[in-house]
Chain A
Amino acid sequence: MTLSKYFHEKIFKKLFDKTWPKWLGGILLALLNILLFAYLMPLGGIYPAVSEWGIWTYKLAGLEIKPPFGSLELPHLSIKSILSLGLMSGVFVSSLLSRQFKLRKDTPGGYLQGFAGGVLIGIGSFLAGACNVAGFYSSIMSLSLSGFYMMIGLIGGGYFGAQIMMWQGRKKAERLTFELIPESRDSALKEYKSNQPKIGFFITFILIVIALTYFLNGKQILGSMFLFGIAFGVVFQRSALCMAAAFREIFTTKNNGIMRSIMLSLIVGVIGFSIIKAGGFKPEHAFVLLAGWHTIIGGFVFGLGMVIAGGCAIGILWRSAEGYIRHWFSLLGGMLVAGLWVPVYGFNVGKGWLYGTPVFLPDKLGWGYALIIVLTILTAFYFFVRWIEITASKRKELSK
């Protein structure tokens, strides 16, 4: 066996032929997030990045809008944007190497729904003060009460979104056409030879050059954030850990593999983040967000939006990079709403009683109880969704 053949058979095929196990994806995401937190900040800032892109879009149209956080930087010089751009690049490369990239068209109604979902995601992020990644995923790892509030909202919104998607699914099923194929045309298909992996290697090379350019110009943080983004993108794409699906499937097919791996990911993350915080490597109150009614309502609107759009904050970036045109509209909807952050809200995001206050659970309960309670809730939810899964499949067997 030659070296290139060995590489192809043993490494490349394993990485890019089959989807990675969901549990592995969950653990890898948690480890990446722990590393990223130890380095700079946890995975988040997707929404502020989208907001910056929205402000740039308005600017190109001649409208001057102030950014909600700090000053407006060019996307390639903004830490938040570069993480999201890295993530999209990672997804793009990964989908090419896996021979899965395709420009996927949709119906006008699909585009409109994608746009509407993006708008709801935008509004939900306003209200919650963060997207699902920062507000739910990284917040729970940070032992912030807000993460659980947002989770409640996401489950509620996910329920209503799931009803809409199932109703649409039934309508699509009615309209299916079964086309008869003449026997003569029934030839066996050969394995499809794709040139996408080659393009993927070429793009990988370009991405490495871009990262090196940052490092050589003394922009270590930007370069590292770009690389982190790529790593996150590859893991999301290869393990298909779609958070919109996690919150939707509890109510539809009840295949809760993704939700379970997210819980597993959170458990690993909580432990890692706690070591970093309790060890004094990062401030304890890092990523502790406001917990109040706004968080729950925002989570609800966000949850509904992400399910009808077909992707959460990361999901719409990821699907856009995989070639789903519908999600370009979602991204546009999110950008246009997020860009209006300051004109609509002024600098009042987070002010007022509805927003509540940031609650760092160890402050209220002590480290010991906080960890025990959080880990118990996550484990209990893991088994709860597993129980839903088992009872649903038993019911199906009985009805056969």
Chain B
Amino acid sequence: MNNHYKVDIRNMMCPYPKYVMPKILEKLGASEKRTVIDILVDCPSAIDEIPPIISKKGYKNEITQISNGEWRIRVKR
């Protein structure tokens, strides 16, 4: 069963990435337990501001830089 999603919000400038986070976490919350969502962002402040939003909901996150000024934030339940 495939439950790995990708949301590409590169080119979405600050502050929009954090404003769309509730929607992404809602999707994660409604999916089955093993679901993973990869969020691709290119806004430097997002990598500081998004992890606290994720951990506040009790989810786990992991940040990897994928290119210059681009990161992948992996969210898990």
Residues of A within 8 A of B (CB): 19, 95, 98-102, 104-107, 110, 165-166, 168-170, 172-174, 176-183, 186, 189, 191-192, 194, 196, 240, 242, 245, 248-249, 252-253, 255, 310, 319, 322-324, 326, 396
Contact B15 A252 (CB under 8 A): yes
Name which residue of chain B comes closest to A248, CB basis.
B15
Residues of B with C-beta under 8 A to A245? 14-15, 45
Residues of B with C-beta under 8 A to A323? 69
Contact A179 B8 (CB under 8 A): yes
The minimal Cβ–Cβ distance linking A133 to chain B, given in whole angstroms, is 19
- How many residues from B make CB contacts under 8 Å with A? 37
Residues of B within 8 A of A (CB): 2, 4-9, 11-16, 18-20, 22-24, 27, 37-38, 42-45, 48-49, 56, 64-70, 72
Residues of A with C-beta under 8 A to B8? 177, 179
Q: A106-B11, A189-B64 are in contact. List 5 more A-B contacts (CB 8 A).
A: A169-B20, A178-B5, A181-B38, A322-B44, A323-B69
Contact A240 B4 (CB under 8 A): no
User: CA separation between A346 and B51, bound complex, in Å?
Assistant: 50
Contact B65 A191 (CB under 8 A): yes
Contact A173 B19 (CB under 8 A): yes
The interface residues of chain B, by DSSP majority, are classed as: mixed
Residues of B with C-beta under 8 A to A248? 15
Residues of B with C-beta under 8 A to A165? 15-16, 19
Residues of B with C-beta under 8 A to A183? 2, 4
Contact A176 B24 (CB under 8 A): yes
Contact B11 A178 (CB under 8 A): no
Name which residue of chain B comes closest to A189, CB basis.
B64
Residues of A with C-beta under 8 A to B38? 181
Residues of B with C-beta under 8 A to A101? 68-69
User: CA separation between A61 and B27, bound complex, in Å?
Assistant: 52
Contact A176 B65 (CB under 8 A): no
The minimal Cβ–Cβ distance linking A126 to chain B, given in whole angstroms, is 26
User: CA separation between A342 and B69, bound complex, in Å?
Assistant: 40
Residues of A with C-beta under 8 A to B72? 189
Contact B22 A186 (CB under 8 A): no
Name which residue of chain B comes closest to A96, CB basis.
B68
Given contacts A102-B68, A172-B19, A242-B45, contact A181 B6 (CB under 8 A): yes
Name which residue of chain A comes closest to B11, CB basis.
A105
Residues of A with C-beta under 8 A to B14? 242, 245, 310
Contact B49 A102 (CB under 8 A): no
User: CA separation between A326 and B11, bound complex, in Å?
Assistant: 10
Residues of A with C-beta under 8 A to B18? 253
Contact of B37 among A105, A110, A178 (CB under 8 A): A178
